[in-house]
Amino acid sequence: MILELKNITMQFGGITAIDDLNFGVKTGEIYGLIGPNGAGKTTLFNIVTGNYTQTKGTVVFNHEELSGVKPNEIVLRGIARTFQNIRLFKSMSVLENVLIGFHHQANYTYFESILRLPRHFSNEKKIKKEAMILLEKFGIADLADTNSSSLSYGNQRKVEIARALATNPRLLLLDEPAAGMNPSETEDLSNIIKKIKTEFGLTILLIEHDMKFVNQMCDKVLVLDYGEQIFEGKPSDAIVDEKVVAAYLGDFEHA
Amino acid sequence: MKIIKLLMLSVAILFLIFAQNNLDPYTVSILNNIAIFGILALSYNLINGVAGQFSLEPNGFVAIGAYVTALLILPASSKIDMFALEDPAPIILAMHTSFLPALLMSGIVAAVLAFILSIPVFRVRGDYLAIVTLGFGFIIRIFAMNQTKYTNGAMGLNDIPDNANLLWTGGIIIVTFIVMLNVIYSKYGRAMKAVRDDEDAATAMGINTFWIKTYAFMTSAFFEGVGGGLMASLLTTISPDQFTFLLTFQLLIIIVLGGLGSMSGTLIGAVLVMGGTEWLRFLDQNMDIFGYNTGAHPGLRMVVFSILLIIMMLFARRGIFGNKELTDMFKRGKK
pLDDT in tens, A112-137: 999 999 999 999 999 999 999 999 99
Question: Could you say which of A103, A106, A110 has the minimum Cβ distance to residue B207?
Answer: A103
Question: Could you say which of B179, B194, B200 has the minimum Cβ distance to residue A100?
Answer: B194
pLDDT given at position A29: 93
ipTM here: 0.91
B47: which DSSP letter? Answer: I
pLDDT given at position A119: 94
CB atoms A167 and B206 under 8 Å: yes
Phi, psi of B239 (to 5 degrees): -145, 160
CB atoms A96 and B193 under 8 Å: yes
**B70-109 pLDDT tens trace:** 999 999 888 888 888 888 888 888 889 999 999 999 999 9
Residue of B nearest to A127 (CA): B187
A150 neighbourhood in chain B, CB within 8 Å = none
Contact between residue A95 and residue A141 where contact means Cβ atoms under 8 Å apart: no
| Minimal C-alpha gap between A177 and chain B (Å) | 16
CA–CA distance, B17 with B12 (Å, rounded to integer): 9
CB-count exposure of residue A57 (10 Å: 0-12, 13-18, 19+) = middle
Give the closest residue to A99 by CA, choosing from A175, A159, A189: A159
Question: Could you say which of A102, A113, A163 has the minimum Cβ distance to residue B182?
Answer: A113
Kindly give the parts of chain A with pLDDT less than 70: 252-255
Whether B2 is covered by a domain: the verdict is no
CB atoms A91 and B188 under 8 Å: no
The architecture of the domain spanning A3-78+169-249 is 3-Layer(aba) Sandwich (3.40)
Best to test chain B binding among A114, A119, A159, A168 (most B CBs inside 10 Å): A114
Domain span at B126: 23-244
CA–CA distance, A131 with A94 (Å, rounded to integer): 10
Q: A117 — contact with chain B (CB < 8 Å)?
A: no
Question: Could you say which of A70, A113, A124 has the minimum Cβ distance to residue B183?
Answer: A113
CA–CA distance, B94 with B156 (Å, rounded to integer): 19
CA–CA distance, B130 with B197 (Å, rounded to integer): 18
Whether B69 is covered by a domain: the verdict is yes
Whether B221 is covered by a domain: the verdict is yes
Contact between residue B91 and residue B153 where contact means Cβ atoms under 8 Å apart: no
B89: which DSSP letter? Answer: P
Query: How big is chain B, counted in residues?
Result: 335
Residue at A185: amino acid letter: E
CB atoms B204 and A88 under 8 Å: no
Phi, psi of B292 (to 5 degrees): -100, 120
Whether B65 is covered by a domain: the verdict is yes
| Minimal C-alpha gap between A63 and chain B (Å) | 20
Percent of chain B with pLDDT over 70: 98
Q: In sequence order, what are the residues at sequence separation of 6 or more whose Cβ sits closer than 8 angstroms to the Cβ of residue B209?
A: A72, B195, B199, B202, B203
Whether B310 is covered by a domain: the verdict is no
CB atoms A100 and B188 under 8 Å: no
How far does CA B280 lie from the centroid of its chain? 22
pLDDT given at position A252: 64
Residue of A nearest to B176 (CA): A114
pLDDT given at position B5: 86
Question: Could you say which of A70, A75, A91 has the minimum Cβ distance to residue B205?
Answer: A75
Whether B286 is covered by a domain: the verdict is no
Structurally, chain B folds into a number of domains equal to 1
β-strand A30-34 against A203-207: which pairing, if any?
parallel
Q: In sequence order, what are the residues at sequence separation of 6 or more whose Cβ sits closer than 8 angstroms to the Cβ of residue B217?
A: B47, B51, B53, B55, B114, B115, B117, B118, B121, B122
A84 neighbourhood in chain B, CB within 8 Å = none
Secondary structure in 3-state letters for chain A: CCEEEEEEEEEECCEEEEEEEEEEECCCCEEEEECCCCCCHHHHHHHHCCCCCCCEEEEEECCEECCCCCHHHHHHHCEEECCCCCCCCCCCEHHHHHHHHCHHHCCCCHHHHHCCCHHHHHHHHHHHHHHHHHHHHCCCHHHCCCEHHHCCHHHHHHHHHHHHHHCCCCEEEEECCCCCCCHHHHHHHHHHHHHHHHHHCCEEEEECCCHHHHHHHCCEEEEEECCEEEEEECHHHHCCCHHHHHHHHCCCCCC
Q: Which residues of B touch A (CB under 8 A)?
A: 179, 182-183, 186-191, 193-194, 196-198, 200-209, 215, 261, 323
CB atoms A87 and B208 under 8 Å: no
Q: A89 — contact with chain B (CB < 8 Å)?
A: yes
CB-count exposure of residue B238 (10 Å: 0-12, 13-18, 19+) = buried
First-to-last alpha carbon distance for chain A, in angstroms, is: 40
pTM: 0.91
CA–CA distance, B258 with B270 (Å, rounded to integer): 8
pLDDT given at position A28: 92
Q: What Rg value do the Cα atoms of chain A yield, rounded?
A: 19
CA–CA distance, A59 with A49 (Å, rounded to integer): 10
pLDDT given at position B171: 95
Q: In sequence order, what are the residues at sequence separation of 6 or more whose Cβ sits closer than 8 angstroms to the Cβ of residue B313?
A: B256, B257
Q: What is the mean pLDDT of each run of 10 residues along chain B (335 residues)?
A: 87 91 91 96 95 93 96 91 86 90 97 94 86 92 91 90 92 96 95 95 94 96 97 94 92 92 93 89 78 76 85 82 75 47
Whether B266 is covered by a domain: the verdict is no
Other CB atoms within a 10 A radius of the CB of residue B264 amount to 20
B201 Rama class: left (phi>0) / alpha (psi -120 to 50) / beta: alpha
Whether B128 is covered by a domain: the verdict is yes
